[in-house]
Structure 1
Amino acid sequence: MKDFLKLMKRFVPPYRGKVVMNIIYNILGALFGTFSFAMLIPALDILFKTKELVTEKVEWALTADSITNNINYYISSFIAKHGEQDSLLLIGLILVIATLFKVGFTYLADFVLIALRNGVVYDIRSLIYKKIIGLPLGYFSEERKGDIMARITSDVQEVENSVANSLGMMIKNPILIIVYLCVMIYMSWSLTLFVFVMLPITGLIIGRIGRSLKRVSTKGQNKLGEILSIIEEDLSGLRIIKSFNAEEKAIGRFQNENQNYRLIMNRLMWRRHLAHPASEFLGTIVIVVVLWYGGRIILGGNNSSLTAAEFIGYMVFFYGIINPAKAFSTALYSIEKGLASMQRIDHVLAAKVTIVDKKDAKDIESFEKDIVYKNVTFAYDKAEVLSNVSLNIPKGTTVALVGSSGSGKTTMVDLLPRFWDITSGNIEVDGTDIRDLKLKSLRNLIGNVNQEPILFNDTIRNNIAFGIDDVSDEAVIQAAKIANAHDFILGTKNGYDTIIGDRGDKLSGGQKQRLSIARAILRNPPILILDEATSALDTESEKLVQEALENLMKNRTSLVIAHRLSTIKHANLICVLHEGKIVEQGTHEELMELGGRYKKLHSMQMF
């Protein structure tokens, strides 16, 4: 319950007006429900002729005695004038009207709660998505994508099903219980005291079942995250699975996790569906005990304050508590399951965003002078990837980074747009440390073309114009022409309005890369990062892409990572990295004359 209140404290305040209206409507509904139940007592008195008519009216006051006496007076007057049968009809009519108001206010309470319930779920889903988008890349190297997808989909859905749908019961049922208990205390405080002794015992039993439900639910959601991770991995690597005839192995791995999930969910559902029968059984025991105890008082003739009709009315009120109490216990079960999912969501929400703007961070509107790496060291956890790297990149130059896999090339260029933050040293743009610049303005200066083009399941036009607002069709077409993409785009089914499929799978590798280049051209950044942009292409596609890259690199500062050394012969500076250090640098001719590591790499490729 404490965790539920914390959850409400976090997400309900924007909707406090809805909560107030819901409480008011529920109170009115409970009062009219009380009035409709109370009308049964005079009806029973008339039927069984167990009470004398009230002939004197007292002064109206906000007391139970005054209100009860005067209501009985008017009923007695009506009986004396119109007879008992017409009086029963009148009481029935009053009961119908009171019930109409009761259900009307109950509906209004649920009506205003819809905006609260859906609003809370909307806020949680938006919050976790914004958090995921804002987290540094390092976070995702530690987490499984499928599990993150499970947290933003199935976990949020579970919070909606379990917590949000229980909000109404968590507000309405306590109000009903309190109102009915107040009436019961007024009718017989001694009998109600006995009820108070019985209810905590049943609540304790129900609470123990609910806590065990939360533990099992957490295991179930974790297992579902593992299943989604397997699905995501297998869909991404379907080509490899088929080529290695590993379908049976993939199916076996999935079936094993699916079987574990089934067993966990069996345990969860067994306990979840225990809620209603357990609460109903315990409620019946309490009713029987109260019926026995109250009947013993009345039948014993110990000057009981309750008449037989009033005792039946008392039992009606008590039964009116049992149903909300059962619903309340069911809601508690459901909430415990939802809170288990909320804990998994909080694992993401609590993740620290390490790469943020400083309070006094500055905007940078243009790139004028140079990029300088000063004694830069970077490590993933404790594994050092770059060690004391220094490099000066004047504006307008092309710097190529070469070296074997794992030498630190990609890490070096990823540090410039602050996908990671350096461990020590400085990276400066125009003399200002990039950590003193606003992230958005820094990244606006930089365009990326990666080895694997990252495209979205959208139109060609929207992929080229990605991240740019209010761009004209003419600008998109011009960027496509410069990237050697215009001709093949016109050859597609719907031209620039063609949907390219998931990750652009309807296009060839060269076509995807040229769209990626067109996107960078349209953005028109002064600094370019080209990460092995042609390494995965055939010769013909490479020629088209290389021409597009040359068009893109004109009058720009470029950092180029290349395995094919033939593509970077004309770079102004070539840096050879080995084990996180720059071991050689110079032009192609200078490095060939040096006869060191670069010449060895070049000779291996020529061979």
Structure 2
Amino acid sequence: MKTFIRILQFTKSYRAIMILSVIASIIYVLLNSMSIWLIGTMLANVMGGNSLSIVNPTTLNEHLNFFIQNLIGRGQQIDQLKMLCILLTIIFISKNILFYTSNLIMSYVQNNVITDIRVLLFKHISKLSLSFFNNTKTSELSSILIRDISGMRVAFSQSLQKLIVEPISIASFLILLFIIDVRFSILVIIIIPISGFFSYQIGQSIRRKSKRNSIQSAGILNIIKEALSNIKIIKIFNLEDSENKKFKTENKKYFNLIFKKSILSNLLTPINETIGLSVGILLIWFGGISVLENQTMQSDDFIKFILLLFAMLQPIRKLSNVNVVFQNGIAAAERVFSILDNDDKIVQRKNPIHIGDFNSSIKFKEVDFKYAGNENMILDNINLEIKKGQTIAIVGKSGAGKTTLSDLIPRFYDPYSGNIFIDNYDVKDYSLKSLRSLIGIVTQNIILFNDSIKNNIAYGSKNANDEELENALISANLYDLVSNLESGINTIIGENGIKLSGGEKQRLSIARALVKNPQILILDEATASLDSESEKKVHDAIDNVIKDRTVIVIAHRLSTIINADKIIVMDKGRIVEQGNHLELINLDGIYKKLYELQYS
């Protein structure tokens, strides 16, 4: 129930039109109840040959019949039949207009609410720290953003309207039943708690199974993503059959979960029909005795009672079936809210400082860092100063903490302890947006979008003009390549730049950094895994990029950082050596061993 109440909180801005929908629903229910009463009157009195003749009504039942008598008139039966048909026509047209209006309003509200939730969820995810993404599969997030939110939309588009209309319908029919006969109406009430009990129990089981379905669906999505992303590896190792088998196994598990849920959901209607029919038969029997033998009940009241009883079974059945769909939506909503409730964010202080320029230095002071859920320190007591305009290289074995150190500067993560200062202010004092606007990053694993070269280069710099884009292409040694393409700078490069070579992707990433024009540039293994020709072109591009900037270069290939102003050597999360190339060679330590290993 808490989850549903939380969803309803998203409807606050739509309350006014929701009230209109509820009013339309109430009038619809009243007209629907009236139409059934009129049909009962037609069958029992007009068609049965017993004209209504009430002069001084005393009970509620008689008052209602007196009202109907005045509506249809006291003339001939054929005249009364004509008036009944006219009234029924007007009522059915009116109630269906109201029903359509109410549904349309609720559909507008429901779809807006789901859209608001999806936008809010995406916004929230984009603001979570990298630690969250390190521990969460992208396929699971995709499943929640698409499948679970779609599940919420389907569930609540079908259920919210019925949750308003059907209880009002049941209450309206019950009131009319009590007006006709209190004794039999008490027996009718038994249907509601029994039906509600079965509906609740089955609904709870369906919710649990829906959660497992969503998790299994995310697992299937992950298999698809990995298989399609690594199709070349699958083919070279002849593992198509193995991947097909794995996919089939996971789908079989998904089928079993879905089928078990279907067994339960399809069970509810027969149970409710059986309960309703059993009570209906009892009432027909005892009601018939009351009319035929005891004469304690009028025949027209008996007909209306039976009509209203079976009319009431329909909203009860709908409400039970709605619960099945509703529980699916609640299960989906719980997964959505589990992400919304995740507060693994880089927190920005109130009234942060806006930094427009980098003026003096970056300082690490006694910085320690470890990833969430990991007891081992990745960085241990880091003390380092990077002055403006310097080119600093960071080297060391894989896992030494080189990339992690650079990730702390734009606050992708925050230190476990210690402080990082830019221009003598803690980076936590700056607004995230202004801090990151100073920094550009070129990594080994280039991230490109299935868009044009132009939009990829201008990503994050939407105000860049054509001249700036052209200069970036020239500096990145890409101008000739792009000029020879049929669509030029508007060429679509495919998913993650699949239509480009490794070196071309790298240079495109460098061009993107150039357009951003960052004052601090981080090059993380920017030339790794490239052939000699591509590496030279990338190096030439990098030489153009690093002019008049503060540059942090992370590299395994020591040939790329020999001319750095300062080289930082890391081992097991600690800075063990620092100096320029000649100083470190003369130190005869780890750096010299790494250098000799590469050049031996």
Q: Structures share a fold, TM > 0.5?
A: yes
Alignment of 1:1-16 (within 5 A): 2-3=1-2, 5-16=4-15
Kept in 2: contact 1:120–1:164 (CA 8 A): no
| Correspondent of 2:548 among 555, 571, 574 | 555
Q: Which residue pairs with 2:22 in the alignment?
A: 23
TM-aligned CA deviation for residue 279 of structure 1? 2.5
Alignment of 1:565-584 (within 5 A): 565-584=558-577
List alignment gaps of at least 5 residues for structure 1. none
List alignment gaps of at least 5 residues for structure 2. none
TM-aligned CA deviation for residue 329 of structure 1? 0.5
Are positions 1:413 and 2:406 aligned together?
yes
TM-aligned CA deviation for residue 245 of structure 1? 2.3
SS of corresponding position for 1:321: helix
Kept in 2: contact 1:25–1:109 (CA 8 A): yes
Mean CA deviation greater in 586-595 or 464-473: 464-473
Mean CA deviation greater in 547-556 or 140-149: 140-149
Are positions 1:321 and 2:312 aligned together?
yes
Kept in 2: contact 1:146–1:231 (CA 8 A): no
**Matched-pair identity in %:** 36
Kept in 1: contact 2:368–2:415 (CA 8 A): yes
TM-aligned CA deviation for residue 522 of structure 1? 0.5
Structure 1 length-normalised TM: 0.95
Kept in 1: contact 2:395–2:554 (CA 8 A): yes
Kept in 2: contact 1:4–1:335 (CA 8 A): no
Alignment of 1:115-154 (within 5 A): 115-154=108-147
SS of corresponding position for 1:574: strand
RMSD over aligned Cα, in angstroms? 1.9
Pick closer, same or farther for the CA change 1:386–1:325 going to 2, 3 Å.
same
TM-aligned CA deviation for residue 431 of structure 1? 0.2
Are positions 1:518 and 2:511 aligned together?
yes
Q: Which residue pairs with 1:199 in the alignment?
A: 192
Distance 2:67 2:112 in 1: 46
Distance 1:514 1:57 in 2: 96
Q: Which residue pairs with 1:445 in the alignment?
A: 438
Alignment of 1:334-349 (within 5 A): 334-349=325-340
Distance 2:170 2:146 in 1: 35
SS of corresponding position for 1:163: helix
TM-aligned CA deviation for residue 66 of structure 1? 4.9
Are positions 1:370 and 2:367 aligned together?
no
Q: Which residue pairs with 1:69 in the alignment?
A: 66
Alignment of 1:130-529 (within 5 A): 130-301=123-294, 303-304=296-297, 307-380=298-371, 381-529=374-522
Are positions 1:542 and 2:541 aligned together?
no
TM-aligned CA deviation for residue 65 of structure 1? 5.4
TM-aligned CA deviation for residue 401 of structure 1? 0.1
Pick closer, same or farther for the CA change 1:354–1:116 going to 2, 3 Å.
same
Instruction: Encode CA deviations 1:66-120: one digit per residue, 9 max, x unaligned.
Output: 564244145353x1xxx21232122111111111111111111111111111112
1:248 is aligned with what amino acid? D
2:137 is aligned with what amino acid? R
Distance 1:490 1:365 in 2: 35
Pick closer, same or farther for the CA change 1:311–1:600 going to 2, 3 Å.
same
Kept in 2: contact 1:402–1:577 (CA 8 A): yes
Structure 2 length-normalised TM: 0.96
TM-aligned CA deviation for residue 275 of structure 1? 2.8
SS of corresponding position for 2:296: coil
TM-aligned CA deviation for residue 57 of structure 1? 8.2
1:31 is aligned with what amino acid? L
Mean CA deviation greater in 460-469 or 315-324: 315-324
Pick closer, same or farther for the CA change 1:298–1:3 going to 2, 3 Å.
farther
Pick closer, same or farther for the CA change 1:74–1:586 going to 2, 3 Å.
closer
Distance 1:516 1:204 in 2: 61
Pick closer, same or farther for the CA change 1:52–1:442 going to 2, 3 Å.
closer
Kept in 2: contact 1:145–1:232 (CA 8 A): no
Mean CA deviation greater in 419-428 or 230-239: 230-239
Distance 1:511 1:281 in 2: 70
SS of corresponding position for 2:47: helix
Distance 2:18 2:275 in 1: 31
Distance 2:384 2:40 in 1: 92
SS of corresponding position for 1:48: coil
Q: Which residue pairs with 1:104 in the alignment?
A: 97
SS of corresponding position for 1:413: helix
Pick closer, same or farther for the CA change 1:602–1:4 going to 2, 3 Å.
closer
Count of residue pairs brought into register by the alignment: 597
Pick closer, same or farther for the CA change 1:85–1:480 going to 2, 3 Å.
same
TM-aligned CA deviation for residue 576 of structure 1? 0.5
2:363 is aligned with what amino acid? V
